[in-house]
């Protein structure tokens, strides 16, 4: 079972999540001289990210940032996670652009692009281990772009893959279960009463949802009280 921290509100979860991530990034830099950090998008984490990026105790030039997943869509598309990530982290934030890596979802050959992104991660960490991974949790139990029923959920022998079909309107590129289970620490942020059942299944390690297949040995869940419900 992952360690869970329950706070009263979404705002408190943004504050606490930022503190947890900053602490892990500092530890990674202390241990390795730099830290690899993979982030998700969606609607939940942006308040947490804004607070994280204001933390001047993190040596941001030592952070190498990757994506957890991305929609297959053109550069600059409002549906792309990278569009908002670039604005927040790079254009108006402290991340060094040469150390921030968008998933290559505009490539003609997405299979080859997945392999190239895996090699990019391994050029920084030959083991493929990402030190800190931030994840969200869908009402259906998906995480990253590991959608229920999609064969991508079962891939463990490569680090990056695409969904077999559209998920909520788009094909996706995603870190696989193999890559996520090799990571250092996973930080989940889970907000709102609509996530009650999915959070319960996550905490139980319920294999009926994709998120239940991820290792919990070194994982932290930051949840608001509404998400926890009566668990």
| pLDDT tier at 150, thresholds 50, 70, 90 | very high
Say whether pLDDT at 231 is over 60: no
Nearest to 49 by CA among 8, 15, 79, 3: 15
pLDDT of residue 42: 81
Please compute the mean of the pLDDT values over residues 156-163 and round it to a whole number.
96
Domain residue ranges of the chain, discontinuous segments joined by +: 3-131+149-190+214-219
pLDDT of residue 194: 95
**DSSP strands (E only) in the chain:** 3-7, 35-39, 63-67, 69-71, 100-101, 132-135, 160-162, 172-175, 185-190, 219-224
Average pLDDT across the chain, whole number: 94
**CATH number of this structure's domain 3-131+149-190+214-219:** 3.40.50.1360
pLDDT of residue 230: 60
Q: Judging by DSSP bridges, how do beta strands 172-175 and 160-162 pair with one another? A: antiparallel
Say whether pLDDT at 216 is over 90: no
Distance of alpha carbon 28 from alpha carbon 22, whole angstroms: 10
Any residues with CB less than 8 A from the CB of 191 and at least 6 apart, and which?
Answer: 10, 13, 44, 223, 224, 226, 227
Q: What percent of the chain has pLDDT over 70?
A: 99
| pLDDT tier at 154, thresholds 50, 70, 90 | very high
Say whether pLDDT at 8 is over 70: yes
pLDDT in tens, 17-28: 999 999 999 999
Label residue 109 exposed, middle or buried (CB < 10 Å: 0-12, 13-18, 19+): exposed
Query: Coil, helix or strand for 82?
Result: helix
pLDDT in tens, 110-130: 999 999 999 999 999 999 999
Token couple for 111: 């299979």
Structure pTM?
0.95
Please compute the mean of the pLDDT values over residues 47-53 and round it to a whole number.
96
Contact status, residue 99 vs residue 66, Cβ threshold 8 Å = no
| pLDDT tier at 2, thresholds 50, 70, 90 | confident
């Amino acid at each position: 079972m992952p360690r869970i921290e329950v706070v009263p509100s979404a705002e408190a979860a943004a504050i606490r999540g930022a503190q947890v991530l900053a602490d892990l990034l500092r530890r990674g830099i202390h241990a390795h001289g730099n830290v690899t950090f993979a982030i998700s998008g969606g609607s939940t984490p942006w308040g947490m990210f804004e607070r994280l990026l204001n933390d001047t105790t993190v040596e941001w030039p030592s952070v190498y940032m990757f994506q957890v997943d991305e929609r297959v869509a053109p550069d600059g598309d409002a549906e792309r996670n990278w569009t908002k990530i670039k604005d927040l982290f790079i254009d108006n934030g402290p991340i060094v652009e040469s150390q921030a890596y968008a998933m290559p979802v505009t490539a003609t050959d997405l299979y080859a692009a997945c392999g190239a992104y895996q090699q990019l991660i391994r050029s920084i960490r030959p083991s493929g281990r990402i030190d800190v991974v931030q994840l969200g949790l869908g009402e259906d139990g998906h995480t990253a772009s590991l959608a229920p029923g999609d064969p991508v959920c079962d891939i463990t022998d490569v680090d990056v893959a695409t969904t077999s079909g559209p998920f909520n309107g788009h094909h996706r590129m995603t870190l696989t279960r193999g890559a996520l289970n090799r990571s250092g620490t996973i930080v989940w942020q889970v907000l709102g009463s609509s996530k009650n059942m999915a959070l319960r299944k996550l905490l139980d390690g319920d294999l009926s949802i994709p998120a239940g297949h991820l290792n919990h040995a070194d994982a932290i869940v930051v949840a608001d009280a509404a998400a926890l419900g009566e668990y």
